[in-house]
Amino acid sequence: NDASTVFDLVILGGGSGGYAAALRAAQLGLDVALIEKNKLGGTCLHNGCIPTKALLHAGEIADQARESEEFGVKATFEGIDIAGVHKYKDGVVAGLYKGLQGLVASRKVTYVEGEGRLSSPTSIEVNGQRYEGRHILLATGSVPKSLPGLEIDGNRIISSDHALVMDRVPQSAIILGGGVIGVEFASAWKSFGTDVTIVEGLPHLVPAEDENSSKLLERAFRKRGIGFSLGSFFEKAEYTDGGVKVSLANGKTYEAEVLLVAIGRGPVSQGLGYEEAGVAIDRGFVVADEYCRTNVPTISAVGDLIPTLQLAHVGFAEGILVAERLAGLSPVPVDYDGVPRVTYCHPEVASVGVSEERAKELYGADKVVTLKYNLAGNGRSRILKTAGEIKLVQVRDGAVVGVHMVGDRIGEQVGEAQLIYNWEALPAEVAQLIHAHPTQNEALGEAHLALAGKPLHS
Ligand code: FAD
């Protein structure tokens, strides 16, 4: 293929959404061009999911070293060698990056490096050449947002991109935003020895989660010595001699070496020819229907660029959906409530389905039954010395519509929770399954035994 070919599909952006669409479309026999200005793999691989989890894992090892005596092991924690942490993290990313590059090449996707621009509803211009496609997929993702008057300088006022490559462990940090990204950095930095304070405008940390999970996380963070100021609005940030001073609308002030701005990510949709080609945009997001079709018949859009959940696996699912639709298959739209969500801090927060509050709105307050299973009754959790809970939200006499979990490593249990939710399993059916002892997975089984009226260890 070369630039004069008309491809079946030309994709702008090689992140989770774009590359998943490319791989699946190529697998289905479509001729695909994938255009990426930076690195194949996008935010998730290079600035998001993977490097943050490597930092969190390094932090977990530091905590284990500090707490080793509790387990009868003699070890001394001597500190963090941040260069070593980066080497480990970068090694993980590099290995996955190489694998992904190999995959794209082996599927015969035409990979083009360069900054692209939509030049018509059926073409993208890059490096002075036009790539024509019967279909176009926009997958340009998102970048960190800031607030008016709050300039991210990359040194003292930073975004997650900077935090991931910082060559020092800050002594103290203020984190603006108690959502997923904010709490993950709070957790990793605390494990590294930083004095951390989170400022969140809403009344809870991880406010998108069931309130019970938020409260459990707040309790665990408080115990770890992570500070937070909830329901507090940011007013201004000023430089001080040693760092930054943050003033809140309620009159409180905090000072720290760095301020991490983690208030969310905004779509990359400006200056790329989208509007000129007639693509509808709403508050920066490309507008797309449940099949990821924009209002322009030849153009689809996926991932963080459209206003669905900003998660890598949502990007994958949407990319696959578009590839299958264009190949003439009949994929079903993504059920966004059925998407598993994991926040990887210490302890982890994981969920699928709807919160108790949302279930009451959907089904009526009198129809909603909840059950909490405390991990104190779970052998494996005791061994790991983690506190936490599994909360089930059920529609009376019916299926479980929400599973909400908090505890170290509990994110690994979200797979079964997802099957329970998506297959609309009844508690009695789940209770019938034998869960291995002693696993944390067993806690999910025990919670369903209790909900089915035959609790074993609770
Ligand atoms: P992106 O991954 O942002 O990819 C878009 C790509 O388009 C980029 O590579 C960019 O260079 C390219 N591009 C943009 N404009 C152009 C142009 N004009 N020409 C060519 N190329 C262009 N999600 C999870 O599911 N789990 C997690 O644990 C998780 N952790 C995260 C942690 C952090 C710190 C962050 C920031 C995000 C995290 N996410 C996580 C979210 C996840 O990274 C995103 O949801 C996902 O990357 C979105 O994929 P995307 O393809 O839409 O966009």
Give the 3-state DSSP-derived string for 11-41, with helices as H, strands as E and coil as C: EECCCHHHHHHHHHHHHCCCCEEEEECCCCC
What ligand 1 atom has the least distance to the C-alpha of 312? 25
What is the structure's pLDDT at 457?
83
Tell me if residue 435 is catalytic. no
The 3-state DSSP composition of the chain as helix, strand, coil percent (nearest 5) reads 35, 25, 40
What is the structure's pLDDT at 4?
65
Task: Please state, in angstroms and as integers, the Cα–Cα distance from residue 449 to each residue in 146, 214, 359, 413, 431, following that order.
Answer: 46, 25, 21, 16, 5
Q: What is the pTM of this model?
A: 0.97
Whole-number Å distance, alpha carbon 19 to ligand 1 midpoint, is 11
Q: Once rounded to an integer, what is the mean pLDDT over residues 102-109?
A: 97
Residue 215 φ then ψ, to 5°: -65, -40
Q: How deeply is 77 buried, as exposed, middle or buried, from its count of CB atoms within 10 A (0-12, 13-18, 19+)?
A: middle
What ligand 1 atom has the least distance to the C-alpha of 40? 9
DSSP 412: G
Residue 444, SS3? helix
How many whole angstroms separate alpha carbon 456 and alpha carbon 458?
Answer: 6
Is the predicted pLDDT of residue 34 greater than 60, yes or no? yes
**Residues listed for the chain:** 458
Read off the tokens for 31.
């001729």
Give the 3-state DSSP-derived string for 301-313, with helices as H, strands as E and coil as C: ECHHHCCCCCCHH
Q: If pLDDT is split at 50, 70 and 90, which confidence band does 263 have? A: very high
Residue 93 sits at the vertex; the CA angle it makes with 87 and 94, to the nearest 5 degrees, is: 80
Whole-number Å distance, alpha carbon 389 to ligand 1 midpoint, is 31
Q: Which of 204, 346, 435, 437 does the annotation list as catalytic?
A: 437
Whole-number Å distance, alpha carbon 143 to ligand 1 midpoint, is 8
What is the structure's pLDDT at 100?
98
Q: In what order do the strands lie in the sheet with 234-239?
A: 234-239, 244-248, 253-256
Whole-number Å distance, alpha carbon 199 to ligand 1 midpoint, is 25
Contacts of 204 (CB under 8 A, 6+ apart): 178, 211, 214, 215, 218, 230
Residue among 16, 39, 44, 117 to mutate when testing ligand 1 (max atoms within 8 A of CB):
44
Residue among 11, 47, 49 to mutate when testing ligand 1 (max atoms within 8 A of CB):
49
Q: Once rounded to an integer, what is the mean pLDDT over residues 249-277?
A: 97
Q: Once rounded to an integer, what is the mean pLDDT over residues 181-210?
A: 98
What ligand 1 atom has the least distance to the C-alpha of 43? 2
What ligand 1 atom has the least distance to the C-alpha of 39? 9
Contacts of 320 (CB under 8 A, 6+ apart): 20, 21, 24, 331
Is the predicted pLDDT of residue 58 greater than 90, yes or no? yes
What ligand 1 atom has the least distance to the C-alpha of 38? 11
Residues framing ligand 1 (Cβ under 6 A): 12-18, 35-38, 42-44, 47-49, 52, 115-116, 139-142, 160, 181, 268, 272, 303-305, 310-313, 315, 344
Strand-strand pairing, 258-261 and 253-256: unpaired
Residue closest via CA to ligand 1's atom 33 equals 48
pLDDT higher at 86 or 4: 86
What ligand 1 atom has the least distance to the C-alpha of 304? 52
Is the predicted pLDDT of residue 3 greater than 60, yes or no? no
Residue among 35, 110, 140 to mutate when testing ligand 1 (max atoms within 8 A of CB):
140
How many whole angstroms separate alpha carbon 355 and alpha carbon 358?
Answer: 5
Is the predicted pLDDT of residue 48 greater than 70, yes or no? yes
Which among 127, 128, 133 is positioned nearest to 114, based on CA atoms? Answer: 127
Q: Which amino acid is at 233?
A: F
Residue closest via CA to ligand 1's atom 30 equals 49
So what's the ipTM on this one? 0.99
Is the predicted pLDDT of residue 5 greater than 90, yes or no? no
Are 42 and 268 a contacting pair, CB within 8 Å? no
Residue among 38, 40, 43 to mutate when testing ligand 1 (max atoms within 8 A of CB):
43
Residue closest via CA to ligand 1's atom 12 equals 13
Q: Once rounded to an integer, what is the mean pLDDT over residues 157-185?
A: 98
DSSP calls for 242-289: SSEEEEETTS-EEEESEEEE-S-EEE--SSSSTTTTT--EETTEEP--
Please state, as a whole number, how many other Cβ atoms lie within 10 Å of the Cβ of residue 110. Answer: 19
Q: Once rounded to an integer, what is the mean pLDDT over residues 339-364?
A: 98
Whole-number Å distance, alpha carbon 444 to ligand 1 midpoint, is 32
What ligand 1 atom has the least distance to the C-alpha of 117? 18
Residue 374, SS3? strand
Are 199 and 234 a contacting pair, CB within 8 Å? yes
Whole-number Å distance, alpha carbon 168 to ligand 1 midpoint, is 25
Is the predicted pLDDT of residue 285 greater than 80, yes or no? yes
Whole-number Å distance, alpha carbon 282 to ligand 1 midpoint, is 19
Read off the tokens for 256.
């720290």
* pLDDT per position as a tens digit, 298-331: 999 999 999 999 999 999 999 999 999 999 999 9
CA diameter of the chain:
68
Whole-number Å distance, alpha carbon 95 to ligand 1 midpoint, is 18
How many whole angstroms separate alpha carbon 429 and alpha carbon 167?
Answer: 51
Q: If pLDDT is split at 50, 70 and 90, which confidence band does 458 have? A: confident
Residue 286 sits at the vertex; the CA angle it makes with 282 and 289, to the nearest 5 degrees, is: 100
Which among 148, 174, 123 is positioned nearest to 12, based on CA atoms? Answer: 123
Whole-number Å distance, alpha carbon 272 to ligand 1 midpoint, is 17
Residue closest via CA to ligand 1's atom 53 equals 141
Helices 16-27/82-106 angle, 10° precision: 30
* pLDDT per position as a tens digit, 381-434: 999 999 999 999 999 999 999 999 999 999 999 999 999 999 999 999 999 999
